[in-house]
A and B are shown apart, each in its own frame.
Chain A
Amino acid sequence: MFGRRAQASAAATATATANGTAAGDGTTAAPVTIKVSKAGKDIEGSVLLAPVSLTVRSGRCLVLRGANGSGKTTLLKILAGALEPSTGTATLDDGPLDERDAATRARVAALVGSPTAYRDLTLIDHLVLIDSTWGGAIDTADERADEMLATLEIDHLSERFPHELSSGQQQLFHLAMVLFRPSQVLLLDEPEQRLDTHKRELLTQILLARKASGTALVVACHDPVMTSALADKVLDITGA
């Protein structure tokens, strides 16, 4: 039943394993480069993103700034391979950037909008599920999942269901899921949303650690403190 896609699935797992990306680890072996060249997006004459170019390499962080509706989320979707640009190109290591491609999915993790959550699974169940589908070590899955929740200081919520969380706790849970899956490129759309000052500082430290371990970061952010702490480069997206 799974024969036809076994190769693709194995490729994703193999990529994650070869790069040493245990869940939540974020360490990478081979550097990656994500590149956008004059990429823009319009739908039936309505411009969602004016043409923009950028390059982000492993261990670097690009912060996207811009007014509401300027196209930051659209750009992040293009970088996630979830949306095709109308003009220009977007590549990952000079290859196609397409989330249908197992290699892209294995390397790029994104928090753009609300991610999938099962209403009949607890927080810890979600992390174990994600870890297992990425081929994480079965014996240590529970410990690593607990550790990820503890890192974001939501370990006391591990046995809650998603609908039992406050909006800020939901944001931390979404971050936990995205940070927990293996990736070499991390795309975050306003991760500071609904977080208090302490949690923003905590998140900044986590993202700095991921950057130091070699993850390429692209973050749309409205918080000047986080921006100055994280950014190697800031790209101001002008209105479409």
Chain B
Amino acid sequence: MSGTTTPTSAPPTTDRERLAQAREVIHGGEADRSASNAVYAAYVAVIASLVYGVPASRAFFIFVDPAWLSRHLTGVQGVLVIGSVVLGLVLLAYRVGSIRGPVVPDLPYLDHVASSALDRAVVLRRWWRLSLLGCVLGGLLTGAVVGTGMVVAKVASPLALLPSTVGGILLGLAVAGAWLWGQVRSWPTGSRGPSTVLREGRSLRALHHVGLRTQSARAVTVGGAVLAGDLRAARLDVAAPSTRLRHSRLRAHGPVGVVAARDALGLRRSPGAVAAGLVLTVGGSWALAHSTTPGVPSIVAFVGILAAYLGYGAWSEGLRLQGDNAGTPALIGLPFRDEARAHLLVPSALYAVVALLTGAVTTITAPSAGTTAIWWPLAVTGLVAAAHLMAAFRGLPPVTLFSGGSAVISVVFWYSRPLLLAVVGVVAATAALGRSGVGHGVVVIALFTAGTAIFGMRRVRRLDEAHRA
């Protein structure tokens, strides 16, 4: 009688082997497709860059007067502009890292694998490397697309392709490093100093389980909110809770005054929002003031209104909170419409003061800017305020938008309507200002402001009454 022997494999000894076994169990014996999915995503990104990116880049460089661009993006001014953009992107990546970092595995993996005794650097490495690869590839493609666009538009020689591509890769690397460091520093204790920057092992071991869980749960909520077109839910989930100046009390005023005082107190408790709004509004107003100078391309007005819109938005939390809470039984004594109007007072006043001061400083410091530059940034205040009224009370996108093959584009367009109205209005008015005179520019901006305000107040009424069905 002969006995049968079952071949037995040696138990895993290293953390890598143990992790490989755990992953095999998680995937139920089937092949892990994350690597092939990443390759496919990279393939799609490369194709999209070639098909859409290069023509768009070429059109941009032709649209923006190449001679004007060459004058302003070379020498010290060019270094300052490009340096500011790079710094802004790195700071943004750092901030995003504290909300949703590059290392966000799913919750079951975090609870059952990452919480084990396995080396956390080994357990989390895959997510970090995928994110790093995405950033570097994104930087490479962006640099290559920008460089190719410049070459095709005959703005630069083919040699420009090399520095733009290498610059893109370096930018991607810097963004990835700042993104991970932001996630590491989002946990208040442990190893989180500069020695962790772009040091894979140290950074991954510094990530706390609770912090990872929080970010993973938030990623699920935000992802679901985005898929459902409910960006309000995503915003509320991402927003940092207020804890500052709790001893500063809201002082009683009249019905309208107390709403404005509420917004002012809310801003005092959010210094980050005040600073962000100030930087964006100053930058936007500066660009809008310059856009009135003859010969300056329309792209300057475009960038200016974009920044100004975002700056105003940073100061409009009270308005958005009212929109978020529409439909709940009334506690505030003001009619819904009047409360919405009252929430416009503080951001509009702040915006108007900053826009006027920036316009005046621009006129004094830039000899080419005429007197129109003083008041033009101020003239767009009404349009920006009305666009934010529309945005705060837009509610949820209609269900019909989600059907058909162009759902994503439809929803993006639906969300962007307030911003699009502001951009089209200001760019058109600035163009009219330069070509047909001040009167025409003022008429165009007034028409857009009135139209957007009417549309915005309609949205306020509709959202107020939507729950009565």
- Chain A: residues with CB nearer than 8 A to chain B? 1-2, 5, 8-9, 12-13, 16, 43, 80, 82-84, 99-100, 102, 105-106, 109-122, 124-125, 128-136, 138-139, 141-142, 159-161, 163-164, 177-178, 181
Contacts and interface: CB of A to CB of B under 8 A. Distances in A.
A94 B317 CA distance: 40
A54 B253 CA distance: 39
B256 interface: yes
Contacts of A129: 250, 258-259, 262, 332
B246 A159 contact: yes
A120 B325 contact: no
Interface string B172-198: 000000000000000000000000000
B75 interface: no
Contacts of B23: none
Interface of B: 239, 241-243, 246-247, 249-259, 262, 265-266, 269-270, 317-318, 321-322, 325, 327-335, 337-339, 341-342, 464-465, 467-469
B338 A5 contact: yes
Given A121-B250, A134-B255, 14 more contacts: A2-B338, A43-B469, A102-B335, A115-B331, A118-B262, A119-B241, A120-B317, A121-B266, A122-B249, A129-B259, A129-B262, A132-B253, A133-B255, A177-B331
A132 B335 contact: no
Nearest to A138: B252
Contacts of A109: 329, 331
19 contacts: A2-B338, A9-B333, A13-B255, A84-B468, A105-B333, A116-B331, A117-B325, A119-B239, A120-B242, A120-B265, A120-B266, A121-B266, A122-B249, A128-B251, A129-B259, A138-B252, A138-B254, A142-B252, A159-B246
Given A9-B338, A130-B332, A142 B242 contact: no
A43 B342 CA distance: 35
Contacts of B332: 116, 129-130, 133
A83 B467 contact: yes
A83 B468 contact: yes
B266 A122 contact: no
B329 A128 contact: no
Given A121-B266, A161-B241, A178-B331, A2 B325 contact: no
B333 A128 contact: no
B242 A161 contact: yes
Given A84-B468, A111-B329, A177-B331, A122 B246 contact: yes
B255 A9 contact: yes
A120 to B, nearest CB: 4
Closest 7 pairs (CB-CB, A-B): A132-B258, A141-B252, A134-B333, A133-B333, A125-B250, A116-B325, A110-B329
Determine chain B's interface SS by DSSP, over half rule.
Answer: loop
A128 B468 contact: no
A118 B266 contact: yes
Contacts of B253: 132, 138
Nearest to B268: A120
A159 B338 contact: no
A11 B294 CA distance: 53
B232 to A, nearest CB: 13
A51 B296 CA distance: 69
B331 A9 contact: no
A110 to B, nearest CB: 4
Contacts of B247: 159
A121 B265 contact: yes
A115 B329 contact: yes
A82 B246 CA distance: 34
Contacts of A177: 331
A26 B182 CA distance: 51
Given A133-B333, A161-B246, A181-B331, A120 B255 contact: no
Q: Which of A16, A121, A163 has the most CB of B within 10 A?
A: A121
Contact of B330 (A99, A142, A159): A99
Contacts of A128: 249-252, 258
Given A120-B269, A138-B253, A12 B321 contact: no
A3 B203 CA distance: 58
Contact of B333 (A115, A135, A142): A135
Contacts of A134: 255, 333
B259 to A, nearest CB: 7
A82 B329 contact: yes
Q: Which of A100, A106, A139 has the most CB of B within 10 A?
A: A100
Contacts of A118: 262, 266, 318, 321
Given A100-B465, A161-B243, A161-B246, A2 B256 contact: yes
Contacts of A102: 335
A9 B334 contact: yes
B250 A100 contact: no
Contacts of B241: 119, 161, 163-164
Contacts of A159: 246-247
A115 B331 CA distance: 8
Given A2-B341, A135-B333, A119 B321 contact: yes
A160 B48 CA distance: 50
A129 B263 CA distance: 11
A3 to B, nearest CB: 10
Contacts of A113: 328-329
A80 B329 contact: yes
A132 B328 contact: no
